[in-house]
Amino acid sequence: MLGGSRAQESPYFVTYTHHMEEPGSLDVETWSTLGVPRSGQRSFFAPYVEFEYGVTGRWTSELYLEGQSTAGADATFTGWRWENRFRPCAREHKINPVLYLEYEGINEASRIEKEIVGNAGASAESVAELSQTHAHELETKLILSSTVHDWNVAENFIIEKNLSHQEGIEFGYSLGSYRPLASLASGTNCRWCRENFTVGGELYGGLGSTNGFGLHDTAHYLAPVVAWQISDNATVRFSSAFGLTRGSYPVLLRFGYSYEIRGFGSKVASLFRGKP
Amino acid sequence: MTHSTSWRSTLLALLITLVLSCLILAENTSYESDPGWKAPANAAARANPLAGRSPAAAGGRKLFLRECVECHGQDARGLEKKHSADLLLPAVQAQSDGSLFWKITNGNPDRGMPSFSKLPELQRWQLVLYIRTLKFPGVGHE
């Protein structure tokens, strides 16, 4: 049987919690970021696809493929990312750490804004020119996450290094909190029950780099988030992130849809073994 | 072949190898019961705040069908291919509510049992409530 569900799916778009993908499960997710511009800027639409797989109970691996389209320019493929999260502690603690390591083979036209690091700076180059500038980046995060009654509280600290160019090491952060609208599960199968909704907020932004650490000329966003489990194995999310500084886009509208295939690993492995 | 192309091919091969390894690793074919997987005394002593609220068990059943069937089966007897526990066994039913709650909360990730701390606390207690309703066939199964 394919399917299953991920109750109480995190509504976050940027912040990570300590909850890992279940072993052998594959999450196929599509995400989009729509940038609403200031005057003089161009709006952009940046979709990406994510394949998230639970390798073990303490190791989750994800592959991203991303693109973007800027108003007045052609759509372009902006690269791929390979992300791994490791949970060192087997048990739940008051604060649960997770180590995050990601390799990014992207180009400078990338606009998915999956994390905000370093300083803000709009480029005057066209999308076509930006897409010709490739970047190999390494990103690490320290994820700290807690469960406080029905609330999740998470803090992410980000360090990113562009391996392709002589740039400093960039820093960023993300903070988030969410909770389900209902603590008890009803006995009926319902889609509009409060228990199927989680709501919360995120705050994220850049912290400069080794060339200049701090809040000067950085982008920051405050984002209400909501997730709705629309079926036993599908969830939609929405967020409207409001820019807090001049270096931010005024609004980033984000939309996500995820579909979980449980037991994916077992089924693929059985194909190789010839078992039913 | 340029240096760049060679580098990309190597990375792609590495990625494919890793993905296939991941699929095999996730099989967890070596599972055996873990004698070291025990709730601390204070956790085992916790009482179910939903005790006596039998209607809440219906919600627990719904959660069980969503979250647990994949490994423990529709009848909660465990699945051989998953090496998962039969939840009707006395070894399970003899455990305290607090102990079952602790195991659902923490999981045993090194043995294939995920943590369900993402569920609200009361929903985890609902699962415990439902597990208590499970009986061997012919012994007053609901």
> How far is Cα B123 from Cα A260, in angstroms, rounded to an integer?
21
**Residue B1 domain-assigned (yes or no):** no
Picking from A53, A58, A46, the residue whose alpha carbon sits closest to that of residue A13 is A46
> How far is Cα B25 from Cα B19, in angstroms, rounded to an integer?
10
Give, as one character, the DSSP assignment of residue A67. Answer: E
**Residue B65 domain-assigned (yes or no):** yes
Bin B87: left if φ > 0, else alpha if -120 < ψ < 50, else beta. Answer: alpha
What CATH number is given to the structural domain containing B87? 1.10.760.10
| Residues of chain B with a CB closer than 8 angstroms to some CB in chain A | 15, 18-19, 22-28, 55-56, 58-63, 66-67, 69-70, 81, 105-110, 112-115, 117-123, 126
Parent domain of B45:
31-133
Contacts of A58 in chain B (CB under 8 A): 109-110
* Chain A, chain B: beta-carbon pairs less than 8 Å apart: 122
pLDDT band at A82 (very low <50, low <70, confident <90, very high): very high
Contacts of A189 in chain B (CB under 8 A): 62
pLDDT greater than 80 at residue B29: no
> How far is Cα B29 from Cα B79, in angstroms, rounded to an integer?
12
- Pick the residue of A9, A20, A55 with the most B CBs within 10 A to test the interface with B by mutation: A55
**Residue B57 domain-assigned (yes or no):** yes
pLDDT digits (tens, 9 = 90+) for B30-73: 435 678 899 999 999 999 999 988 889 999 999 999 889 988 99
The more confident residue out of A276 and B95 is B95
What integer pLDDT is reported at residue B46 of this predicted model?
96
**Residue B139 domain-assigned (yes or no):** no
Q: Are B109 and A57 inside 8 Å of each other by CB?
A: yes
Q: What is the mean pLDDT of residues A222-245?
A: 95
- Angle at CA of residue A3, ends B116 and A60, nearest 5°: 50
Written as one string, the DSSP assignment of B28-39 is -TT----TT---
- For the entire predicted model, the pTM comes to 0.87
Contacts of A92 in chain B (CB under 8 A): 105-106, 115, 117
Based on the number of CB atoms within 10 Å of its own CB, is A187 exposed (0-12), middle (13-18) or buried (19 or more)? middle
CA closest to A24 among chain B residues: B26
What integer pLDDT is reported at residue A252 of this predicted model?
97
- Pick the residue of A184, A198, A260 with the most B CBs within 10 A to test the interface with B by mutation: A184
CA closest to A22 among chain B residues: B114
Residue listed under structure tokens 């997987």: B37
- Which residue type occupies A4? G
Instruction: Give how many domains chain B has, as a whole number.
Output: 1
pLDDT band at B91 (very low <50, low <70, confident <90, very high): confident
Number of Cα atoms under 13 Å in the Cβ half of residue A222: 2
Q: Are A57 and B106 inside 8 Å of each other by CB?
A: no
| Beta-bridge mates of residue A97 | A144
Among the partner-chain residues B26, B113, B123, the one whose CB lies closest to the CB of A184 is B123
What integer pLDDT is reported at residue A2 of this predicted model?
30
CA distances (Å), B68 to each of A58, A77, A161, A244, A250, in order? 18, 39, 41, 43, 43
> How far is Cα A66 from Cα A47, in angstroms, rounded to an integer?
6
**Residue B4 domain-assigned (yes or no):** no
pLDDT digits (tens, 9 = 90+) for A162-195: 998 878 899 999 999 999 999 999 998 889 999 9
pLDDT band at A4 (very low <50, low <70, confident <90, very high): very low
Among the partner-chain residues A82, A90, A269, the one whose CB lies closest to the CB of B24 is A269
Q: Are A262 and B70 inside 8 Å of each other by CB?
A: yes
- Pick the residue of A17, A53, A56, A84 with the most B CBs within 10 A to test the interface with B by mutation: A56
Q: Are A254 and A241 in contact (CB under 8 A)?
A: yes
- ipTM computed for the complex: 0.85
Our CA-based measurement puts residue B121 at a distance from the nearest CA of chain A, in whole angstroms, of 7
Q: Are B120 and A90 inside 8 Å of each other by CB?
A: no
**Residue B23 domain-assigned (yes or no):** no
Return the CATH fold of A26-273: Porin (2.40.160)
**Residue B86 domain-assigned (yes or no):** yes
pLDDT greater than 80 at residue A88: yes
CA closest to B107 among chain A residues: A91
What integer pLDDT is reported at residue A202 of this predicted model?
98
pLDDT band at B140 (very low <50, low <70, confident <90, very high): very low
Q: Which helix (H) or strand (E) holds B14?
A: helix B3-25
pLDDT digits (tens, 9 = 90+) for A112-163: 999 999 988 767 788 888 888 899 999 999 999 999 989 999 999 999 999 9
Q: Are A51 and A84 in contact (CB under 8 A)?
A: no
Query: For all residues of chain A together, what is the average pLDDT?
Result: 91
Task: Locate A110 and state its tokens.
Answer: 């990338």
Q: Are B76 and B128 in contact (CB under 8 A)?
A: no
Q: Which helix (H) or strand (E) holds B59?
A: helix B56-67
